[in-house]
Each structure stands twice: as structure tokens, then as C-alpha cells.
Amino acid sequence: MHLLSAMKTLVHDLHSSPPASRAAVKQCGVCGQSVSALLAKVLTLGALLGAAALASAAALPVDTQRLLNADQEPGSWMTSGRTYGEQRFSPLTQISDKNVDQLGLAWQFKYDLDRVVEATPVVVDGVLYTTGAYSMVYALDAVTGKLLWKYDPQVFRGMQNQGCCDAANRGVALWKGKVYVGVYDGRLEALDARTGKKLWSVDTVIDHERNYTITGVPRIVKDKVIIGNGGAELGVRGYITAYDAETGKQQWRFFTVPGDPAKGDESDTISMIRKTWFGDQYWVQGGGGTVWNGMAYDPELDLLYIGVGNGSYWNYGLRSEGKGDNLFLSSIVAVKPDTGEYVWHYQTTPGDSWDYTATQDIIVATLPIAGKPRKVVMQAPKNGFFYVIDAATGQFISAGQFGSIVTWAKGIDQKTGRPIFDYEAADYWSKGETKTVFPGSQGAHNWQPMSFNPQTGLVYIPQHTTAEEFSPLKTAGKPVKGKYSLGVDIPALPEDKAGRDKLVKLFTGKLQAWDPVQQKEIWSVPYPMMNNGGTLTTAGNLVFQGTAFGELFAYAADTGKRLWQQQVSSAVIAGPITYEINGEQYVAFNVGLGGAFPIAFGLVAENSPVVPDSRLFVFKLGGKEPMPEVRRRIMTPPNPPPQTASAEDVQAGRKLYGENCSVCHGLSAYSANAIPDLRYLTAEKHEQFQNIVHGARAHLGMPPFGGRLKPEEFEKIRAYLIKRAHDLQNDLTSAAKQP
């Protein structure tokens, strides 16, 4: 115990000393022993206790000083983006473009649920913290993969907790011996980092009649833990909230869109932005503007940057009478982290009408602009244009089209920073016309993290091509829990195989290396399908990424040359990390695709061969552990029952399915492999269909619809599923006859 106490004091001395003077710390303030003598004892004790246990006992908790000095601890990965600037760049060089082909498995960990895994792990003092589906938290020995503890927040898996898209969680934050997790049902919880015991829990939801969820990572700035929420597709009002990191007491709340005018404005900022909204529906529909993902912090400017989401409704005509910018939808907003005071904003898509969120990663960096270094924020949001904005003022600097196909705008005015709208191509609300728009609601880049390498000067974007058919509703309705609230008809996949095959060729992806100064692509690597994983870049001239087809890749950061690959059984959408312990560098990939996805992800589900198999894989040079057997999907559908329903009932069932079932099972009865594909229902399941949909499987996560739909509506949905099952069987029969 004396040694551990001495080590704690020594670590404190080292961490509290400026980097340049740390060499002057020669001895421990507790026992007076020399640093070298203590280190020798540390190695001996480490061999006895294990690296993770020793590090946990000896190291200081993560605090402001450690987070500010993250680059002085290149072996750690203390926050989701590694540093406050969220660059996802590692200075580690042991694994490089010269030896990355020698990577082998060090260890792997199997999650409890084969569902969506989107978390970026964090690694501090020998312990790796990560999350799986339904906000379950895991603490693992970062060297061996041994489970130290896990925490299940017991999220109720019923209809009232439905959100877009699947019960995902993107990771945790650490602060002074605590682990913070945003829980899917809207709670923010603090856990003891040593044991996983819950220390406090707060309810962040302002209105439980609406479908608020949390899927994002909490951010820690100074002594505050900051969290946003999701749910704009289901009709909510966006905001972020700061809580005291020690007690959970609310410190401030910042609303991103105006609320009910009859209740008054919460601040002068709300009064300002309300002038950009029109009509009497925006607050009824919720408004949207949720802050569910991208945030970054600049300690020099003391500004917190938040990325704001899409409108609710999507339909600009029903939401705001087709008028106004609708601030702060689809915007980057800078606020003071101490108070939540508004400082500046830049709106990427004024009057957003296509789900063009600006919730994608926000990266803070210094770039050579006009020959001089300038602090900027960078973002590649859904709308297909890459933005460089002054970090201090929000002044527009430049934008370039990184999306392969963009039809909603002809470009960005380089003087004003506003888009040059192509109303002929993209305005579906004014005349009630159906329009096909590029990108679609999944954008040219979604939440999957991008990274920035200051050595190459390039940003590495998981880019993809998508499109969407927007068909406006004529009248507004009231948001209903568990149902999409978009103001447009939910699009469906073509029901003929030829039509789907045509779309498959369109919905492609690529790893894109983008020069933010020149605003142009330097190199790219094409993928046959969209929805590929986030990126990591390192000082070893490397970029790591996983794919929707169950592949892990390493590329040369300067040229894009593929240097290493490994197959896994499930898809990869999360961002990888790298860390170093005891002089050995590791690379970690979270693997696991699940969810409820719009049209494009139905194509992923149908055409990707991956299977449900959620795991964390950790690699090192010369790793010798055997990889699990790679499995690929081979599914033979059962013979569907005969179709006895009328064409009218089948069509009605299609509409009911889209409104009630697609949130979980995917559009047109396709799922993303983890949630059942309802075209494959067995005869037994068809017999049980009424009971299952009514609520017989609520304890297993199948929401009960008994109080919302009538038995005859259940049967219409089943009739539509029978039709889709026959379509599938016909497709397979036709394919078998092809030479």
C-alpha cells in the first residue's frame, strides 16, 4: 500500500508539472525514493497484479489537465475523438506503413447482444471502456481483454423507447474516477470507473410524450458533462444540457429551435431564431434540431461547438410554410461551456428539407489559409459539401463538393457561404410534387467519424452516394410515439429485383482523402456498398477503416495504397482507435451492424453477406490469437403461405408497415440482419402473428401494438409481408434459372 500511495503522488507530480519540467521530478514526495527505483518496483508489482489493475490503482483520474495535455499521453485514448479537437489522429508510430501487414489478433471480446455497435472505445490507464446495444457499458483489461465489469442500465425495450436508428450508443466519457453514459431512454448516468456501480442518474427528457432518445457520447468540459438527444424523425425539440460532473445537478440548457410561443422564450437567443420560423406548426411538430452526435471544444478560445440536426417535419412546407432559414437547424453553433451562452453559428442548409443534419463530426485544427495559420472548424455534413469555418467567429472560409452527386444545390456561394439552391430539382413541397434528390436522407456522409492527419493535411471521410424520393403529405398531423413524423411518405424499395439491382449500383461508398485547404479530393478507395465504418489516422502514415461487407483495412495515409486487411463476420460502422501499453501499440475495431434504416440500408441488408456477430477485435504486431471463423449469411426462405388478401388490403398493409414496423424492421420488410427480416417468417410465426404484434413478445423487445392498431390492421400488415415473401421466392427462382 505504501508503494501504491507513493506511485499516486509521483504520478500527480508528473501530471501537474509542465511538460518541459517533468524531467526535473527526480523523486517521490511521499517516500523520497528515486523515480528509477520506484519504476523498478512498479514493473515487479505489475507482473504480480496485472497491468490494468496496477494502472487503475496508481494513476490519477482523468481531469482537465490530462485532457488538455492529451498529446503528452499518446498511448491513451481518453475521449471519443482522442483530443478536444476531435481529430482522431494518433501520434503513435510503432505500427506504420512499413510493418502494418504484420498485425495479428491480440484479443477479442464478444458482446452480449448481436445488435448495433457504434461506440468508439476509450482507453485510460490500462482499461478499455466501450458500449454495446441498449447503452450497456463494458470495462475490459486493455492488454488481455478480460472483462473487469459491465453495467446494464436496463432499458425498457418497448414501443415508447423507439428511435432512429436502432438502440445504438457511441461510447462513454471519463472524468475523475467516473464513467458517463447517455442511456437510450434519455437518462444520463455516472458510474464508478473501478466497479461499474451507478453513482447517480438524471432524466434529461423534457417531454415524455415524445420519442426522445440518447445515442451520442457525453462530452466533459471543465467540471461539466454535456449531452444532447435524438428523435427529430419522431417529432421532438432539440437541446443540449450541461450537468455538474460530480453531482449530476443541471447547470444550463441550450435549446436549438424555438418552442411553443405561448410559453414564452427561454432566452434572447430563442427570440432571435424564432424570427426565422413561420406558421403555427413548427412547435407542434417539435421542430427537430437535435444534437445527437458531433461536438468539439477549443480550450484556447473556450468555445464548445455543437452540430445541430434536421427539421421535424422534414417537409419545409408543412413545418414552416416554406419560409425562413429555421435556425438553428443543420448548423454548427458555438457556445460558452460555462454558461451555454450563444456566441456564433453557421448554417450549412438553411430551411433544411431533406434531413441534411450538421451532426457529423466537427474537427478543430489549424490550417494554412491564404498563406497564414488559422484556427478553423471543419465538417463534412450530409448535404455533400465540405466546410471550413473560422473557429473564433464562425466566418465562412470555404466549401467544396465532396459528395459524388449533389442535386439540391448548384454549389456554395463563396462570398456569402449560402447554398445556391436548385429548387427545380429539389423543391417537393411548394407544388406537392415528388422529387428524387441527391444526397438522400443518409447524406454523402453520415455519423461515421472522419479523421484529420496534420502530417498529410488530409481529412479521411467515410463518404457514400445516396438518393431519396421525397413525396410530400398535404396536411400536418400530430406526432405519435413510435412513428416517424416526417411530413413525407416514407419511401419504399422497388419491389422488382431489377429495380433494386439498379439502386445497388447507385448506393456506393468510398474512403475519401480530402484536402480542406484546396477543397478537393486527393485520393479515394471505392467500395461496392454505402454505410462503411469510421476512420482513424496515425503518425505511422496509416488510415484504418472497416466496411459494411465485414472487412478491416489499413491504407497508406498519403497515397491510399491498401496495406493490410482482415475479414470478420459482421459489418463495421464504428470508428477504430489505437493505443499503447507497456511499449506495445494496439489497434481496436468495434464490429456489429444492426438497426432500422431507410431505403439505402435496406439495400445494405439485402446485399451484404454479413451476419449478426457483435465483437471488439484488438490487434498488435505479431499477434498470435486465432480469429473466429468468418461466417457469411446463407438463408433459405421458408415457403410462404398462400396470398388470400385483396390487392387493396396488401397496399394498405404496405402503408401500415411503413408507419409502424419500419422503425425496427427496415423499409419494405428488409432488416439490417440483426433485427428479423420479416420476409422469412415461418408458418408457425404466421400463426402467432396476431399475438406477437399485440404484445406477446414485449419482454423480448418487440413493442406491443395492441393498443394502437386493430386486429384487421395486423392482418393487412401480414398480407403485405406474405406478398414480400412471394416476391423473394420468385427472385430466387429466377436467379437459379440464370446461366
State the pLDDT at residue 40: 43
Q: At what angle do helices 497-506 and 599-607 cross, to 10 degrees?
A: 100
Same domain, 609 and 663: no
- Model confidence at 605, pLDDT cuts 50, 70, 90, reads low
d(CA 336, CA 346): 16
pTM of the model: 0.88
User: Does residue 367 lie in a domain region?
Assistant: no
C-alpha pair distances (Å), 578 with each of 66, 74, 493, 586, 686 = 18, 9, 39, 5, 47
State the pLDDT at residue 595: 53
User: Does residue 565 lie in a domain region?
Assistant: yes
Strand order across the beta sheet in which 187-192 lies: 173-175, 178-182, 187-192, 198-203
Same domain, 552 and 452: yes
Same domain, 452 and 588: yes
- Examine the pLDDT at 601 and tell me if it is beyond 70: no
Same domain, 452 and 598: yes
Say if residues 212 and 229 touch (Cβ distance below 8 Å).
Answer: yes
Mean pLDDT of 679-685: 87
For 309-364, the pLDDT digits (tens) are: 999 999 999 999 999 999 999 999 999 999 999 999 999 999 999 999 999 999 99
User: Does residue 100 lie in a domain region?
Assistant: yes
Residues 670, 676, 679, 685, Cα dihedral to 10°:
-160
For 407-448, the pLDDT digits (tens) are: 999 999 999 999 999 999 999 999 999 999 999 999 999 999
DSSP secondary structure letters along 204-246: --S-TTS--B--S--EEETTEEEE--B-GGGS-B-EEEEEETT
State the pLDDT at residue 675: 61
User: Does residue 705 lie in a domain region?
Assistant: yes
User: Does residue 415 lie in a domain region?
Assistant: no
CA geometry: angle at 140 spanning 137 and 143, to 5°?
155
Residue 325 is among the residues annotated as catalytic for this protein: no
Number of structural domains the chain divides into:
3
Query: Nearest 5°: phi and psi at 277?
Result: -120, 150
Question: Residue 699's Cα: distance from chain center in Å?
Answer: 27
Say if residues 509 and 533 touch (Cβ distance below 8 Å).
Answer: no
d(CA 490, CA 164): 14
Greatest Cα pair distance, the chain, in angstroms, is: 87
Same domain, 629 and 657: no
Task: Report the b/e string of 568-594 with b at 16+ CB within 10 A.
Answer: bbbbbbbbbbbbbbeebbbbbbbbbbb
For 193-237, the pLDDT digits (tens) are: 999 999 999 999 999 999 999 999 999 999 999 999 999 999 999
Same domain, 453 and 534: yes
**CA count, 13 A, side-chain hemisphere, 330:** 29
User: Does residue 268 lie in a domain region?
Assistant: no
For 266-302, the pLDDT digits (tens) are: 999 999 999 999 999 999 999 999 999 999 999 999 9
In the structure grid, which three cell numbers stand for residue 139, read together? Answer: 470495462
d(CA 404, CA 696): 46
d(CA 358, CA 305): 11
State the pLDDT at residue 699: 62
Choosing from 584, 607, 634, the residue where a domain stops is 634
> Which has the higher per-residue pLDDT, 512 or 679?
512
Say if residues 664 and 162 touch (Cβ distance below 8 Å).
Answer: yes
Same domain, 652 and 580: no
State the pLDDT at residue 301: 98
Q: Please report, rounded to a whole number, the percentage of residues in the chain having pLDDT higher than 90.
A: 71
Say if residues 538 and 558 touch (Cβ distance below 8 Å).
Answer: no
Query: Nearest 5°: phi and psi at 620?
Result: -150, 165
Same domain, 713 and 576: no
Give the active site residue among 13, 325, 355, 677. Answer: 355
Q: Which structural domain, as residue segments, surrounds residue 670?
A: 647-737
- Model confidence at 694, pLDDT cuts 50, 70, 90, reads confident
Helix (H, G, I), strand (E, B) or coil at 266: coil
- Tell me the pLDDT of the chain averaged across its residues: 88
State the pLDDT at residue 737: 73
The CATH number given to whatever domain includes residue 581 is 2.40.128.630
- Examine the pLDDT at 710 and tell me if it is beyond 70: yes
Same domain, 530 and 622: yes
For 498-524, the pLDDT digits (tens) are: 766 777 778 899 999 999 999 999 999
For 247-260, the pLDDT digits (tens) are: 999 999 999 999 99
- Bond into 165 cis (ω within 30): yes
Which residues pair with residue 554 across a beta bridge? Answer: 544, 564
d(CA 302, CA 308): 19
